[in-house]
Chains A and B, each alone.
Chain A
């Protein structure tokens, strides 16, 4: 009996949040707990989704009629630039960092991230650069207006000649965002390499961890190139250097190389974790093991490596030599191989499965459907003749949004719903979730599917007025955009009311396999603390007689105990 008393494992678990269970103030402080930081990231990012979405709806409001009647064309330039920048750097990157922060430590059995203070610093840079970016609406001359890619010579024109201008604030905000991402990437990679649970070899990691590792390595390899380019752009704009000025011997196309060397892989940085989310959720909601686990895992790195050598496909129409066009067309099409491996693996996982159409699964299926569509238009765009024909038209816009919203944001919503009970300890309302999905799917399809036709007919992007022959496609798209705006209402309602007064969630509501599901909901402060399970198999053995961890029953019992 005395042995039992001294057993450290029977000592009461620490309070999940040391400052009191309902201390909401921790979300507004320099907290170093990855779970708090994750929620900080996600809530901040969702706020900017609303702002970016509002700008998007303003753009669609302008485009519902052919002439430019709602805004001055100059204002319109600022609108789409800020819409793109906010959605990418203030919504997508932060929200994925948030999900990664929430999920990586529990999924690999680590108590926290490797560098908790740097982690908090990376988060608190987000409000700083967000405010800098939003302030650019109020400087003379308005915000940056040269598109989210900021190509010189337009971006370095500085028409008012003021030192403080929108473009300058844009570059500062993007550089700070880059610093935040690099700190995050160093943290994630170190955590994944050094802090996995005993027994969790690389080929027993969840696919989400594989994809995060692949994505964050890509950040480390690509992002500094953009930072380098941004520094040079800043010098050109502010100090009158001639890196990208033709008249001083510079080369504007060089900036495009710097920009796309990072910004094409950046799409993979965002989509890879979503591939991870798909790979996590399909087995859970179809009760089958993930088909071809090892292939899916390795394919992530195939994408990482290939994506570093495809960037010139954004520049086919900038006087690129023919051999370069052919080479990059070939490498770009090669990307379809590892992504194809993943898509087939997901479909094979679903095949004959016991599919449960709950909200997260609906978002996953919708995202997969859209991804296949967006992937096909991607291969079309990789073909040089097609690209030269539809380059800078709405076809590109439609393809891009099919990936960035209809796939990535769908995956993010799926993940939010799937792990919501785990990290808040509350169940969400399934009915509202399904309404959210239906509105989002209808709105997104109506918004971007018609734009493919507009693009194929030759409607150029980034202009406030257009020929009346494109009107029908634009009216449809605008209606879709407003439906998407409405879709945010059930989502916000669901998240807020279920967190405040939802039913308490059990530790494992979806009967999923994974280290995070062996923890109570919400998980205690340092997850498993000292008592980390020994992993025996990859977490996808649904319906197989293979144990996941040693002493699984013990951890299940422990997670059920009230803290």
Chain B
């Protein structure tokens, strides 16, 4: 004999819900929010520049575009390179992934190096009026993101040597790659604002 209680539960079909794989959702939401900080800086730059009677610090008519242009080409093309690294990983070609991934890291590091060279050759500083502050704030904040991206890529490269690391999906690699595209898009806007709009 079943009691009434057991009877109730026998007729009951439990609802099963799978709760996994929302890391990517969370990361995308975070990136959208992060882009608003850059957006705020870009708006600040534009507003200050439009309303300023004299924009550049005394003795400066503009900034040299050659070095940053090379940097831009490197960073934009690294976004394509990282795409191929991901492709290799999907095809389970682990060494192909590692090599291409490492090339992306080198390209990113070259970008940081280029930024450093550019900074050290400039004649104005953080305190040189609104432009000086804005220039170092924007390039510096973006540079921090590039460095973060390279460190994250290093972490992913290291983890690729752990056996069976990608059995449970490639969330980490996909997120870092997404982050890299994000850094890239931000740079394109930044390049347009600071270097092209003079």
Q: Which of B37-73 contact A (CB under 8 A)?
A: 37, 39-41, 44, 47-48, 51-52, 54-55
Beyond A7-B10, A227-B37, is A250–B26 a contact (Cβ under 8 Å)?
no
A189 B130 Cβ-Cβ under 8 A: no
B30, A224: Cβ atoms under 8 Å? no
A492 to chain B, nearest CB (A): 37
Would you give the shortest CB distance from B124 to chain A, in whole angstroms?
A: 12
User: What residues of A have a CB within 8 angstroms of the CB of B6 in the complex?
Assistant: 4, 10
Most B-side CB within 10 Å, residue of A197, A241, A248, A257: A241
Chain B contact residue count (CB 8 A cutoff): 46
CB-CB < 8 A to B47: which residues of A? 251, 254, 257
* A225 contacts B by Cβ under 8 Å: yes
Query: Closest CB of chain B to A385's CB: distance in Å?
Result: 27
A4 with B130: CB separation less than 8 A: no
* Closest-CB distance, B99 to chain A (whole angstroms): 33
Assembly CA distance A324 to B156 (angstroms): 49
Shortest distance in angstroms between B150's beta carbon and chain A's nearest beta carbon?
Answer: 22
B8 CB within 8 Å of chain A = yes
Is the beta-carbon distance between A242 and B33 smaller than 8 angstroms?
A: no
Q: Are A224 and B40 in contact (CB under 8 A)?
A: yes
B14 at the A interface (CB under 8 A):
yes
A194 contacts B16, C-beta separation under 8 Å: no
A110 lies within 8 A of chain B by Cβ: yes
Point out the residues of chain A lying under 8 angstroms from B15, CB to CB: 197-199, 531-534, 550
Q: Provided the pairs A186-B30, A221-B33, A530-B14 are in contact, do residues A241 and B132 lie with their beta carbons within 8 angstroms?
A: yes
**Chain B: minimal CB distance from A354 (Å):** 30
- B25: chain A residues at CB < 8 Å are 114, 190, 193-194
Residues of B with C-beta under 8 A to A503: none
Q: Among B12, B32, B35, find the residue whose CB has the most chain A CB atoms closer than 10 A.
A: B12
Whose C-beta in chain B lies nearest to the C-beta of A561?
A: B5
Q: A187-B26, A250-B48 are in contact. Are A554 and B12 (CB under 8 A)?
A: yes
B131–A249 CB distance below 8 A = yes
Interface size on A, residues (CB 8 A): 59
Contact, CB under 8 Å: A224 / B129:
no
Chain A residues, Cβ within 8 Å of B16: 198, 530, 532
Q: A223-B33, A235-B137, A250-B130 are in contact. Are A195 and B19 (CB under 8 A)?
A: yes
Confirm or deny: A22 has a beta carbon within 8 angstroms of a beta carbon on chain B.
no
Q: Take A193-B25, A258-B44 as given contacts and tell me if A532 and B17 are in contact as well, using a CB distance cutoff of 8 Å.
A: yes
Do B2 and A251 touch (CB < 8 A)?
A: no
**Which residues of A247-289 have CB atoms within 8 Å of chain B's CB atoms?**
248-251, 254, 257-258, 261
- A243, CB-defined interface residue at 8 Å: yes
Q: List 20 A-B contacts (CB under 8 A).
A: A4-B6, A8-B14, A186-B29, A190-B22, A197-B15, A224-B35, A224-B39, A227-B40, A231-B37, A232-B133, A240-B127, A242-B130, A248-B130, A249-B129, A254-B44, A254-B48, A531-B15, A532-B17, A550-B15, A554-B9
Q: A111-B19, A115-B26, A193-B25 are in contact. List 6 more A-B contacts (CB 8 A).
A: A228-B36, A228-B44, A241-B127, A248-B127, A249-B130, A550-B15
